Amino acid sequence: MEIRLKERSEIEEKYKWDLSIMYKDDMEWNNDFDKLRNDMQEFSKYKGVLGNSSSDLLLALQEKDNLNRRFEKLASYAMRKSDEDTRDMDGAKLKNMIFSLGAEFVEISSFFDPEIISIGRNKIEQFIDEKEALMTYCHYLENIIRFKEHTLSLEEEKIMANASEVLSAPSKIFTMLNNADIKFENIKDEDGNVVELTNGNYSKYISSHDRNVRKDTFKVLYKGYKGLKNTFTEVLIGDIKAHYFESKNRKFYSPLEMSLFNNNIDIKIYYNVIKVVNMNLNKMHKYVKMKKDLLGLEELHMYDFYVALIKEYDIEYTYDEALNLVFKALTPLGEEYIKNTKEAFDKRWVDVYENRGKRTGAYSSFGYDTPPYILLNYNGKLHSVSTIAHELGHSLHSYYSALKQPYIYHEYSIFVAEVASNVNEVLLNMYMIDNAKNRQEKMSLINDFLESVKGSIYRQTMFAEFEKKIYELEKDKKPLTEQAFSDLYYELNKKYYGEDIISDEEIRYEWMRIPHFYYQFYVYQYATGLATAFFIANNIYNGDIAFRDKYIKFLSSGSSDYPVELLKILGVDMKNEKTMQCILDYFDTQIEEFLKLAKEK
C-alpha cells in the first residue's frame, strides 16, 4: 500500500486559509498592484522637500505609511498564495512581482532616510514642537538619525537599492531548492507502507519508534542533500558574500554588527548566549546520556535523538483535540486573549495540513490590514500541537500590536519575535504536566520540555555559533568550501552533544537544510526568546494578574521602542546572564525529575 500526499484541491475548505479576506481573486490583486505601482512613482515628489516645513515632513511620512500598508497587503496575498503550492507558477509569478515591486520602492524611496539625517536632530525636534501629529513619529525619526554614520550618499543609497534584489537572490534560490526542487527516495513506514519522504513529513518519521524507519529516514534525507552539496555550498557562499558586501559599504565592522544594529542590540548579548550555553554543555551531555540509557541502546546515533522516550504516550491528537488543549492551556492569559485566539480559527486564518508542493514548516505572518495568517503542516504529534500554540503566540503578538499601535510601529522587532510564541508553548507544557493522568504521561511531558530546551536553546545556539564561525572564515580570508562548512558543522555537533552519541557522517550535511542561515544572525533569538518566555510564563501560570496585564501591554507595544527597552516592561534585562542561566538550571532539575520518575515502579 502506497501513501501519497493529497493535492491541495483534495483538502477540505475549512482546513485552508481564506485569502479572499484580502482579495477575491488574482485579477483584483493585479488591479491593486498596478495602482500601487503607479502611486509609488509619485512618492519621488517628496525628494528634497522633507526639510522645508513640518507640514511637508508629516505629509511625506503619512504617504510612506499609506504606500507601505498597501504593499504589505499585496505581499501577504502573494506570499500565502505561493506557499500553498510552490509548484504553482501563478503563485510564483505574484511572489516575484511583489519582490520586484518591493525593490523598486526601496529604490524610489532611497532618498528618504539620508534626507531625514541631513535635516538634523535639532530641526526635526523643532518640527515636532510645531506639529503635534509628528509626535507619533518621534521614535521612528530618532531611529533613522541613529543610522547617520551608516547611511550613504543619495547616489550610493540608490546603488544599494538597485542591488537589493540581486543580493537577496541566494536566499530565494535556497527556498526553491529546499521546498520545491530537492527530491528524496521513498521509505517504508512502521507498517511497511511505501512513503514519499519530504521535508514536511521528515519530523514524523525521524521520531518513529521503529529504529529501522528512523535510520532509513535519516540516511535517505541526507543522501538527497549530499547529492546537491556543491549547489547548496555555492548558494550559502553567495549569501555570506552579499552580507559582507552590504556591511562593508555601510561601514560596519561585520555583518553580525550590522544585523544587531538594526534593532539596537548590544553585540555582547549574542556572545553571551554562546558563552552561557557553552558553560552549560554538561547539562546537554547529561540529557544525551540519559536518553541513551533509557532507550537501552548500546550505541546512540543521531537518528535516535528525536524519538520520544515514553512510547505509551506518544499518541496522536486530532486537530480538534489539539485546539481544545491549546485553548485550555492559554486560559491564564485571560478571556480576551482566548476570544481573540479563537477568531483565527473561526475566520479561517489557518492553513492546516500538508499538501503536494506546500511550503514546509510553519509560520505566522503579520499584517496591519490583513489577518496574521498561520501556515501549519499538522501531523497529529504533540510537536504539532505545540506548533499551533507557538504560531498563535506570534499571531496574537501581531494582532495586539496592530490593534494598539499606529502603522509605523505595528511590526515587532525580530529580537522579541520568539517571546510570545514560546510563552504559549511553555504554558501548554505546564498545563499538560499539571493535568497529567499518571507517571508515564508526566514523564512524557517533562521530556517534551527537555526537548524544547534542547531544540530552542542548545541546537539554535549551535546554529548561532556555526553562523558566527562561517562568517569569520570570510573575514579571515579563509576558503569557503563545502568541506570547510561540513567539517565545522560536524565538530560543533560533537561538542554540543558529547561523547554518548555517535555523530554519524550524514550529520555533516545538516547545515544545507537550515533556512535560518539565510536570515542573517537570527537563530540566537530562539534561545533568548525561550529563556525570556520561561520567565514570563512562570509568572502568568502562577496567577500573577498584574504581570499578565504587563505582558498584554508588552504584546501591544509593537516597535514603539527598542526591543531591549520593551522587555523592561516585564523586568527582563537581556544583558544579564542570569536570564539564560535560569532556564538552563531548570532544565537540569527536570532531567533529575525525569530520572527519578523513571526509577519508580
Residue positions annotated with a catalytic role? 391
Buried b (16+ CB within 10 A) or exposed e, 82-120: bbbbbeeeebbebbebbbebbbbbbbbbbbbbbbbbebe
The CA-to-CA distance between both ends of the chain, in Å, stands at: 40
Q: How far apart are CA 260 and CA 521, in angstroms?
A: 8
Residue type for 191, please? D
With the C-alpha atoms ordered 147, 148, 150, 154, is the resulting torsion angle positive or negative? Answer: positive
The CB density around residue 191, as the number of other CB atoms within 10 Å, is 10
Joined together, the cell numbers standing for residue 355 give: 499538501
d(CA 538, CA 535): 5
**φ, ψ dihedrals at 367, nearest 5°:** -175, 135
Answer for the pair 580, 272: CB distance below 8 angstroms, yes or no.
yes
H or E element, residue 477: none
Judged on CB neighbours under 10 Å (0-12, 13-18, 19+), 532 is: buried
The CA radius of gyration of the chain, in Å to the nearest whole number, is 24
Query: Residue 587 in 3-state DSSP?
Result: helix
Q: Which grid coordinates are listed for 30?
A: 493585479
| CA trace torsion 273, 489, 456, 418 (10° rounding) | 70
Q: Other CB atoms closer than 10 Å to residue 268's CB: what's the count?
A: 12
DSSP annotation of 457 reads I
